[in-house]
Structure 1
Amino acid sequence: MTLMLCLILFVAPLTQCNQVPDPQLLQSVFGTPAGYAGPLPGQVGKPQGTNETLVDHDYWDSDDYYVPSPADYDSFDWTVTKRIATYSEENFLLSPLGLKLALAILTEAATGPTQAQLASVLGFDVNRTVVRTKFSSIISSLQLVNPNYTLNVGSRIYVDSSVSERQRFSSIAEEFYKTELKKVDFRYAVETAAQINGWVSNLTHGNIPNLIDEDEVKGSIVLVLTTLFFRGTWKHQFNPNTTKTKAFYVTPTLQKQVPFMNVKDKFYYAESAKYDAKILRMPYLGKKFSMYIVVPNSLKGLPRIMDSLGDLRTEMSHVAERTVDVTLPKFKFDFTAILDGVLKDLGIRQAFEDTASFPGLARGQSAQNRLKISKVLQRSGIEVNELGSIAYSATEVSLVNKFGEDEFSAGEVIANRPFLFFIEDEATRQLLFTGRVSDPLAATAEFKAHTPSA
């Protein structure tokens, strides 16, 4: 399975636009679930009460230990996911991590109401040191090399050569967010676009070769980009010989014949009465990442789940390990989303207006020469097959100058109707990707800007 994401934020002149880290640190940054007495995130896979000198950790991968996450640390992630799901019934794929990373970098450069709105909507602590420590821990954890999976995370800020950037901001971006600042000449739009696209393409293994074009570069002053690429192998792989074509109910009256994979093994699983749905955790090799799928019991049941996404963490705490017979469709699609309207709806408004304040990005901004966000674009894609999955994403923010049971008791999950899925880094409890499969045969989908509500 492969996943990728690219997020880019645009910044241009207003005058040209009239219209696995230390476990104790992880616990202090991310918290410990209420009432949980098990191992810390960095200790997942090590049973309690075991004489550590007698444990050969190479053998613990044969067992699977699930540590529930607290229900209040990822409110922004689920809120944005819910908004995207509300506006369209098509497939979608969002990278909350890619989007938050880009906006976190901008929050560091903001002041006044601009900074207050960003921090409030994102759910950031008022203490910037706490936020910096959190992102530093997440990125450091994601950058750990493991032969069982591939994960590339990167971020860059492209600044026009005419801008005199602030050294303090550059240092903070590099130290805590592992973000490199690059000086370019946006007047040479073709060359600059090619340079940016080459960097994104390299990190996403060629899956996003053309994130931006020269027209998007023209007039820009600052581009903030984050990229994410994930390739994982299922811990419990599907046998390709058992893949069969069956009906997927896109709607109660529309069926499509798609290839379904099947595997029967031990999984963490729950039947949720609140959602009238089944929740399944599907781990990848490496004891770090898992995909979760939430399949409604009725053909029209997904909106009920989406309406109460904020309660999903609570429902996930009920999962227990048991034998589950899993039938999952193969799917592969790309998704493009322009997120300006969604962010404005959530309360991030001033960052898009002439009164935006980002003095940390550049020196000497006057009332006529301020920076504001002109566009937030995220492009992502996913492929799920018998061996695993691949996911990728890129986010762009542009600123202008004004991402052991009996067989009869075995569970069963048949994902033959629209369902929710997400991929989580269980060490840091960070959502890498969230999405919905409405049609496994749809290769592309997009979410365009809308007029935000009052």
Structure 2
Amino acid sequence: MISIVYITFFAAQILLCSSATANIDPNTLRDVFGYGSTYNPIGAVATETYRQVVAVTPYNETLVDPDYWDLDEFHPSAANFDKFDWTLTKRVAAVSGDNFLISPLGLKLALAILTEAATGNTKLELSSVLGFALDRREVRIKFSTIIDSLKKQNPEYVLNLGSRIYIGDYVLPRQRFAAIAEEFYKTEIRGIDFYNPPEASKQINAWVSNITHGKIPDLVDDDDVSGVVAIILNALYFKGSWRHQFPTNATKSAPFFVTPDLQKPVWFMNIKEKFYFTESANFDAKILRMPYRGNKFAMFIIVPNSLTGLSRIMNGLSDLHLEMNNLQERTVDVTMPKFQFDYTSKLESVLKELGIRQAFEETASFPGLARGQLLHQRLRVSKIVQKSGIEVNEIGSIAHSATEIGIVNKFGEDDENDYEVVVNKPFLFFIQDEYTKQLLFTGRVSDPSIVDGDYKVL
């Protein structure tokens, strides 16, 4: 599974490994699936068709290999911990019925840094909508803990997280703000010549492209950086492999019900394994947790039982944490589509509707960002754009995201009790860091056959 997410003024990417064998390391395939003696590495001359062998099982059913059979325990998040994330997701979903993908974590990180520079009503609005405590140190410690957790290296997955603030060469950043950004948000401040838009956009795009492994090469263009005083960037790249990989020889074409009257043929993957699962009566839906290797991240699939039931799920997102308490480990036969799409959105109007208004107006107050501001030189947020994309298939997933905020002047049951999840209708999904309970990505798949997403002014 590959998931890709990118955001202008905030970019995130999720990438899931492609099913094309030319893009898969033969050693990875051998480690996961195993191959007989007739297997030839990619690029070698094949003499016979290689065959997949049965997955390795602990020989005595007691001693286990931690690489493949590590302890899998799920603990739901606390109530309202992710309230802003789901409020944002619900609002984005209401714009249209199309596929969408956003990174709540990336947006919150960028806005948290911006909140550090705010005072008065500007700060109150940001803190209230984001669900931040008024005690700034409490917020700083919270995000510092999240960032430290995400930056820990693990051979089972790759997660790159970077934050940077570009300030015009003519602007004097406040030393205290710079120190707080570096200590708690691991964010460096860099001077840049915004009077030379081609060079400025080149530098910014190079940094984002490096964090996202080239998945977001063009977050900004010359117009985006022309006339701005500062840009707050956050880039996120995640690449993970399913703990329980889908066997590639089980992937088959079948109809996906886009609407009750419209079906499209797509590729469906299938696996039968132990997963945390529940049948939700309140949502009239099935909720499935699919963990990645490394015991830290998981994707959750929420699929309605009826073809028109997704709206009921979206309307009840604020109560989703209650349903997560009901997840139990079951043997589940999972059939879900491979999918890949891109999504770009402007988020200013959404944030204004949620209550963040003054940050975009000429009365905005960001004295912490730069020294020497006069009343007629107030800084304000000009735009917040997010680019995103995702691809999901048999092996694993990769996700990337980038956020940029431009600022301008003036302005436990028996094995025989099996369950089945068939994801053949529009569904909701999200990827969560299970240590910090942060939502890295949330999205909806309405049509798995669509690859190119539209630019959405939300």
TM-score relative to the length of structure 2: 0.86
Counterpart for residue 113 of structure 2: 105
Q: CA deviation at 1:57?
A: 9.9
Give the residue type in structure 1 aligned to 2:367. P
* C-alpha contact (below 8 Å) 1:138/1:428 kept by paired residues: yes
Q: Indicate the larger mover: 60-69 or 328-337.
A: 60-69
Does the residue aligned with 1:232 lie in a helix, a strand or coil? strand
What's the CA shift string for 1:253-274, capped at 9, x where partnerless? 1111000000000000000000
2:210 is the counterpart of 1:216: no
Query: Is 1:7–1:397's contact at 8 Å kept on the other side of the alignment?
Result: no
Change (3 A) 1:111 1:350: same
Name the structure 2 match of 1:2.
2
Cα offsets for 1:200-232 (capped at 9, x unmatched): 111111111111101111111100111111111
Is structure 2 residue 67 aligned with structure 1 residue 72? no
Name structure 1 gaps, 5 residues minimum: 11-54
DSSP-derived class of the 1:192 partner = helix
Q: Is the 8 A contact 2:248 2:394 kept in 1?
A: yes
1:45-444 to 2 correspondences below 5 Å: 58=66, 61-402=69-410, 405-406=413-414, 409-444=417-452
For residues 403 and 264 of structure 2, the distance between their equivalents in structure 1, rounded to whole angstroms, comes to: 32
Amino acid corresponding to residue 369 of structure 2 in structure 1: L
Q: Distance in 2 between matches of 1:226 and 1:367?
A: 29
| CA distance in 1: counterparts of 2:382 and 2:428, whole angstroms | 31
Code of the residue aligned with 1:221 in structure 2: it is V
Per the alignment, in what secondary structure is the counterpart of residue 3 of structure 1?
A: coil
Structure 2 residue matching 1:256: 3-state secondary structure: strand
What is the CA–CA distance in structure 1 between the aligned matches of 2:162 and 2:67, rounded to whole Å? 32
| Unpaired runs of at least 5, structure 2 | 11-62
> How big is the shift at 1:7?
4.0
The CA deviation string for residues 359-409 of structure 1, in whole angstroms up to 9 with x for no partner, is 01101111111110010001111111100111111111111112x755652
Cα separation, 2, equivalents of 1:290 and 1:5 = 16
CA distance in 2, matches of 1:355, 1:220: 17
Moved more, 437-446 or 130-139: 437-446
Post-superposition offset of 1:4: 4.1
Structure 2 match to 1:29: none
Structure 2: distance between partners of 1:151 and 1:193: 25
Q: Distance in 1 between matches of 2:404 and 2:4?
A: 14
Alignment CA distance shift 1:124-1:324 (3 Å): same
| Distance verdict in 2 for CA 1:323–1:57, change over 3 Å | closer
Contact 1:339 1:378 (8 Å CA) reproduced? yes
**What is the letter of the counterpart of residue 175 of structure 1?**
E
Provide the C-alpha distance between the structure 2 equivalents of 1:139 and 1:407, rounded to a whole number of angstroms. Answer: 39
Q: Is the 8 Å Cα contact of residues 247 and 255 (structure 1) preserved in structure 2?
A: yes
- Partners of 1:204 and 1:383 in 2: CA distance: 15
Letter in 1 for 2:122: T
Q: How many residues in Structure 1 have an aligned counterpart in Structure 2?
A: 405
User: Do 2:3 and 2:340's aligned partners in 1 also have CA atoms closer than 8 Å?
Assistant: no
CA contact (8 A) 1:351 1:373 kept: yes
Q: Which residue of the partner structure matches residue 33 of structure 2?
A: none
Q: Alpha-carbon deviation of 1:2?
A: 3.5
- Residue 2 of structure 1 aligns to a residue whose secondary structure is coil
Alpha-carbon distance in structure 2 between the residues aligned to 1:447 and 1:87:
12
Q: Percent identity?
A: 60
Q: Distance in 2 between matches of 1:294 and 1:214?
A: 40
Asked if the contact 2:289–2:299 (Cα under 8 Å) also holds between the matched residues in 1, the reply is yes
Mapped partners of 1:7, 1:132: distance in 2: 23
Per-residue Cα deviation, 1:75-105 (whole angstroms, up to 9, x for no partner): 0000000000011111101100000000000
- Tell me the SS of whatever aligns to 1:275: coil
Alignment partners' CA distance in 1, 2:413 and 2:283 = 25
Superposed CA offset, 1:268-326 (max 9, x none): 00000000000000000000000000000000000000001010110011010010000
1:4/1:394 contact within 8 Å kept:
no
Contact 1:6–1:200 (Cα < 8 Å) also in 2:
no
Q: Is the 8 A contact 1:334 1:444 kept in 2?
A: yes
Q: Is the 8 A contact 1:8 1:226 kept in 2?
A: no
Cα distance in 1, alignment partners of residues 142 and 454 from structure 2 = 31
Q: Retained in 2: the 8 A contact 1:5–1:98?
A: no
Q: Distance in 2 between matches of 1:401 and 1:9?
A: 17
